[in-house]
A and B are shown apart, each in its own frame.
Chain A
Amino acid sequence: MSPRPPTLRENRRYILVRVEPAGTAIDQKELYYAISDAVTSLWGDAVGGVIMQAVVAAENGHVIIRCLRGTEKELALALSTLTACREVRLALRIEAASGTIESLRERIRAEKPGTEPSSEMVTGSAGTGDGEPGEYVFAEKPFLIGQCNGQKVDVIEKGFKNAHRLFLTRSDLENS
């Protein structure tokens, strides 16, 4: 099948979104189904068929989503109703929209690398308490650092059962 001439092709737009929480493993296919669900649930099949959303790339905690030009607003609204993908809680923060994937990739590259899965990022009395190295105490419970980005610290409760993830700041850990 020969490709369509440019004048007969549909014009598309690409939306760059950041996936929160940082460090979430993204399966493009699963995310596509989650986005399709959100679009269909909000706008129905008729509008969903016009938006023609697709996940075209997932890299560095960012996802590029394609849609038909003129339907960015509808897609953005549907993306803001997305709360989970395969029972993993997440949020998609829209950063930019563009006519080319390359310009969005440049934007991703321009962003400074943020997250560090390290416990050495947090200093203070909490980290040097009675527990093991790398273990922090918050609200009298032991936690391990999951992700660290500037002031933001994601911690995971230590233990086999009910290993909750909490979203804190350095000040929380230092003051607890």
Chain B
Amino acid sequence: MKITDAAVFPYPCGDTSVRRLALEAKTLGFDSLVAMDTPAGSFDGVEILSGIIMQDAPMRDVIARVKRAKDSGAVISVSARDNGFNRAAISLKGVHILRGIQAADKNAFDHVTAKMAADNNVAIDIDLSFLIGARGVIRQRAIHRYRDVLTFERRFEFPVSLSSHARSYLDLRAVREITGLCSLIGMDTAGVEKALDTVGRVTAPPVSAVRVVS
């Protein structure tokens, strides 16, 4: 099982280099990181996976960019918007993670979208920065939305990923702290372990439904 933070933003997006993030992540208990707009590599035994986020783009552009990035080996994420957009994004081949569900419309994620996510093996991301850095109503809304997502997750069993969205190594949290934070949204330790391993599962090549034996 690989413990992966599903989104970090190294320098120049943040103030910490990718090597330093890897060094700190290792001491906090992570095996790999998805670093946005950074080439893949490995530093100090921590695997860096390249990540791409598509946000504020019309569906036509998203389709074109996913097509281009599909074979690059990067972890491809799309920022959630309205319900129709989310359903279309989830059904796109090559999309691994749907992010920003806490900031999307109230009805952006429903049972149909949840079923589609489970069928297409697309992870729904839980952005821990809202639990860590936000205060008041914003955090309360995020907690409510994540609880809602987890209700669907228990019913439809789609993958859920956890990301710190760290722009500095100060934003990273240890696995034990993440377990505590996720208890706020009703996720138990087993659920957290499974969620931290999600990136490996959604990026693995799909197993063919038909196997040729001869």
The residues of A with any CB-CB pair to B shorter than 8 Å are: 20-21, 41, 73, 76-77, 80-81, 83, 89-91, 93-94, 139, 151-152, 164-169, 171-172
Are A76 and B11 CB-contacts (below 8 A) given A89-B168, A93-B174, A151-B23? no
Tell whether, in the assembled complex, residue B181 and residue A77 are in contact, meaning their CB atoms are under 8 Å apart. yes
Tell whether, in the assembled complex, residue B23 and residue A80 are in contact, meaning their CB atoms are under 8 Å apart. no
State how many angstroms separate the Cβ of A34 from the closest Cβ of chain B: 12
Tell whether, in the assembled complex, residue B180 and residue A80 are in contact, meaning their CB atoms are under 8 Å apart. yes
B173 partner residues in chain A, CB cutoff 8 A: 80
Tell whether, in the assembled complex, residue A166 and residue B15 are in contact, meaning their CB atoms are under 8 Å apart. yes
Please provide the chain B residues from 109 to 167 with a CB less than 8 Å away from any CB of chain A in the complex.
Answer: 131-133, 135-136, 139
Tell whether, in the assembled complex, residue A41 and residue B136 are in contact, meaning their CB atoms are under 8 Å apart. yes
| Selected contact of B177 from candidates A76, A83, A169, CB within 8 Å | A76
Are A21 and B170 CB-contacts (below 8 A) given A166-B17, A167-B15? yes
In Å, the complex CA distance between A135 and B52 comes to 34
Proximity string of chain B (173-197) to chain A, C-beta cutoff 8 Å, 1 when within and 0 when not: 1100100110110000000000000
In Å, the complex CA distance between A140 and B173 comes to 30
- How many contacting A-B pairs (Cβ < 8 A)? 68
Tell whether, in the assembled complex, residue B19 and residue A77 are in contact, meaning their CB atoms are under 8 Å apart. no
Q: A21-B170, A77-B180, A151-B23 given. 11 additional CB < 8 A pairs? A: A41-B135, A80-B173, A81-B131, A81-B181, A90-B170, A91-B172, A166-B11, A167-B16, A167-B169, A168-B11, A169-B20
In Å, the complex CA distance between A152 and B184 comes to 33
Proximity string of chain B (6-21) to chain A, C-beta cutoff 8 Å, 1 when within and 0 when not: 0000011001110110
State how many angstroms separate the Cβ of B84 from the closest Cβ of chain A: 35
In Å, the complex CA distance between A152 and B170 comes to 13
Tell whether, in the assembled complex, residue B180 and residue A76 are in contact, meaning their CB atoms are under 8 Å apart. yes
State how many angstroms separate the Cβ of B166 from the closest Cβ of chain A: 10
B174 partner residues in chain A, CB cutoff 8 A: 93-94
A164 partner residues in chain B, CB cutoff 8 A: 15
Residue B105 lies at the interface, judged by CB distance under 8 Å to chain A:
no
Are A83 and B170 CB-contacts (below 8 A) given A41-B135, A94-B177, A166-B16? yes
State how many angstroms separate the Cβ of B112 from the closest Cβ of chain A: 34
In Å, the complex CA distance between A88 and B126 comes to 27
A151 partner residues in chain B, CB cutoff 8 A: 23, 44
In Å, the complex CA distance between A91 and B139 comes to 19
Tell whether, in the assembled complex, residue A73 and residue B180 are in contact, meaning their CB atoms are under 8 Å apart. yes
How many chain-B residues does the 8 Å CB contact rule pick out?
Answer: 27
Residue B61 lies at the interface, judged by CB distance under 8 Å to chain A:
no
Residue B82 lies at the interface, judged by CB distance under 8 Å to chain A:
no
A90 partner residues in chain B, CB cutoff 8 A: 170
State how many angstroms separate the Cβ of B170 from the closest Cβ of chain A: 4
State how many angstroms separate the Cβ of A119 from the closest Cβ of chain B: 18
A-B contact pairs, 8 of them (CB 8 A): A20-B170, A21-B170, A41-B139, A77-B180, A81-B181, A83-B132, A93-B174, A152-B23
In Å, the complex CA distance between A41 and B44 comes to 37
A172 partner residues in chain B, CB cutoff 8 A: 17, 19-20
Which A residue sits closest to B136, measured CB to CB?
Answer: A41
In Å, the complex CA distance between A152 and B20 comes to 7
B139 partner residues in chain A, CB cutoff 8 A: 41
A77 partner residues in chain B, CB cutoff 8 A: 177, 180-181, 183-184
Tell whether, in the assembled complex, residue B170 and residue A91 are in contact, meaning their CB atoms are under 8 Å apart. yes
Are A167 and B132 CB-contacts (below 8 A) given A21-B170, A76-B180? no
A93 partner residues in chain B, CB cutoff 8 A: 174
In Å, the complex CA distance between A166 and B10 comes to 11
